[in-house]
Amino acid sequence: MDETINPFSPGAGTPPPELAGRAEILRKAEVTFRRSLSGMSTQGLMLVGLRGVGKTVLLSKIGNLAENAGVQIVQIEAPEGKGLAELLAPELRRLLLRMNLGAQVATQSRRALQALRNFVGKLKVSVGDFEVSIAPEPGLADSGDLETDLTALFVAIGEAAKEKGTAIVLLIDEMQYLEDEHLAALFAALHRVAQKQLPIVLIGAGLPQLVGIAGRAKSYAERLFEYPPVGPLTLPDAADAIQSPLRAVQCQLTEDAMQRLFEVTQGYPFFLQAWAYAIWNAAKSCPIELSVIDAATHTVLERLDTSFFRVRFDRLTPREKDYLRAMAELGAGPHRSGDVAEQLGREISSLAPLRAGLIKKGMIYSPAHGDTAFTVPLFDQFMHRAIPEWKAVPSRTKNGATPSK
């Protein structure tokens, strides 16, 4: 059918035609920023889930809702290997300038600008010039210690927001990539702001390892946030995601076609979009039948193999590929780390650094102690296609003669 009116939108962070099954998370987010706006204490949110479940589109949606409610938003994505201060400072500067727009610079806003100026000066972060001439205030956010200074900065900004009668929502994506120390500083700053009932709240998103990373950074991170899981859609929600946009263009999937689509995608939003996009293009008429789904599957997988999966595969070292292939040999997972080690004919302990590296890269995570799982849904099947010829180490798994290095 006509590709130019294809309603579906596979991609990273591309808004879906129908944001299905997320009403409860959106409601929680709304409660969070509305409480903050009324000067009440509130927990932040950490949306955790695998790749392609829709964390980024949720953050954007929450950002829109917050803006419409009169909340100031600061939206950033943590890239691998960039510091928190460099990431935050330019956005906070933009925020402060925006908050002052048109009005005379209010007392607390001026102090917040001073704090930011001291903060960037001390930590040598470049954010461009400060247009507003402000007298320096020594001792404000200028100790050189990230945690201390970020806390002072957040308090100053929180007081400015309070003075202006607004609230600030920080939306930070891919939080698992932040260094432990930076995360600790961020949590300490938010903790202080919460104690002082100042209106700054974090709504973050990241891969499942974020929960552990957060707890390690600060033990109170558990109480500072709620961690609503963002998972695959249920069949009724998946049907909503696909059938509503189709209905809008007078089309439908037959019931068994929808059922099959749900099976091949396992309800993962990104896969639903990718399949639906291809199915629409391949279909000749409506309603779209089961045979069209089956015919499209090959094309979709080929496309995913050269894009979505491949970009992740290409970032791996040969040993990392081998580890993931061993996992894939055992199925979708999660798997006991010991079982993966056995596939490779190695001791668990000798594989620990490799496994830790893969967690850091965001390829795998540990759903429970000693368990390992892929962060990308259907990655096990991809690994089989990418490396079809692979053998576990039989002599070592059978006779126990285990040369571990």
Ligand X SMILES: Nc1ncnc2c1ncn2[C@@H]1O[C@H](COP(=O)(O)OP(=O)(O)O)[C@@H](O)[C@H]1O
Shorter beta-carbon distance to ligand X: residue 154 or 275: 275
CB 260 within 8 A of CB 293: yes
* Least Å from the CB of residue 234 to ligand X: 11
Shorter beta-carbon distance to ligand X: residue 63 or 199: 63
Query: Pick from 10, 199, 362, 377: which binds ligand X (CB under 6 A)?
Result: 10
**Which span (49-57, 130-138, 267-275, 294-302) binds Mg ion, by CB under 5 A?**
49-57
Amino acid at 203: I
Distance between CA 130 and CA 114 in Å, rounded?
A: 10
By CB neighbour count within 10 A (0-12 exposed, 13-18 middle, 19+ buried), where does 88 fall? buried
Contacts of residue 279, Cβ cutoff 8 Å, sequence gap at least 6:
253, 261, 288, 292, 293, 296
Query: Pick from 32, 42, 56, 265: which binds Mg ion (CB under 5 A)?
Result: 56
* Least Å from the CB of residue 58 to ligand X: 7
Shorter beta-carbon distance to ligand X: residue 11 or 90: 11
Amino acid at 149: D
**Which span (15-23, 54-62, 86-94, 347-355) binds Mg ion, by CB under 5 A?**
54-62
* Least Å from the CB of residue 273 to Mg ion: 13
Site for ligand X in 191-250 (CB under 6 A): 241
Structure tokens at 245: 């946009």
Structure tokens at 305: 């193999």
Distance between CA 313 and CA 331 in Å, rounded?
A: 18
9 binds ligand X (CB under 6 A): yes
**Closest residue to bound ligand X by CB:** 54
By CB neighbour count within 10 A (0-12 exposed, 13-18 middle, 19+ buried), where does 48 fall? buried
Interacting partner of 10 out of ligand X, Mg ion, none (Cβ under 5 to 8 A depending on kind): ligand X
Query: Pick from 7, 22, 193, 224: which binds ligand X (CB under 6 A)?
Result: 22
Structure tokens at 368: 């429970």
Shorter beta-carbon distance to ligand X: residue 174 or 380: 174
Helix (H), strand (E), coil (C) string for 286-300: CCECHHHHHHHHHHH
CA-based nearest residue to 166, from 201, 216, 204: 201
Structure tokens at 250: 């007078």
Which residue, chain included where needed, has tokens 């995913």? 304
End-to-end CA distance of the chain: 56
Half-sphere exposure of 70 (CA within 13 A, CB side): 11
12 binds ligand X (CB under 6 A): yes
Interacting partner of 333 out of ligand X, Mg ion, none (Cβ under 5 to 8 A depending on kind): none
Interacting partner of 53 out of Mg ion, ligand X, none (Cβ under 5 to 8 A depending on kind): ligand X
270 binds ligand X (CB under 6 A): yes
Query: How large is the greatest C-alpha to C-alpha distance in the chain, in angstroms?
Result: 79
* Least Å from the CB of residue 246 to ligand X: 13
Shorter beta-carbon distance to ligand X: residue 176 or 273: 273
Distances (CA, A) of 102 to 2, 11, 105, 157: 48, 38, 9, 18
Kindly provide the residue ranges of all beta strands, DSSP E only, lying in 87-187, ordered along the sequence.
Answer: 168-173
* Least Å from the CB of residue 258 to ligand X: 14
Query: Pick from 7, 16, 208, 232: which binds ligand X (CB under 6 A)?
Result: 16
Q: Look up residue 384 and give its DSSP letter.
A: H
Site for ligand X in 50-69 (CB under 6 A): 51-57
Query: Pick from 7, 21, 44, 158: which binds ligand X (CB under 6 A)?
Result: 21
Q: How many residues does the chain have?
A: 405
* Least Å from the CB of residue 166 to ligand X: 27
Name the strands in the sheet holding 371-374, side by side, starting at the edge strand that comes first in the sequence: 335-336, 371-374, 364-365
Shorter beta-carbon distance to ligand X: residue 36 or 265: 265
**Which span (13-21, 127-135, 369-377, 389-397) binds ligand X, by CB under 6 A?**
13-21
**Which span (19-27, 28-36, 280-288, 364-372) binds ligand X, by CB under 6 A?**
19-27
* Least Å from the CB of residue 322 to Mg ion: 27
Shorter beta-carbon distance to Mg ion: residue 14 or 38: 14
Binding site for ligand X (CB under 6 A): 9-16, 18-22, 49, 51-57, 241, 269-270, 272-273
Binding site for Mg ion (CB under 5 A): 56
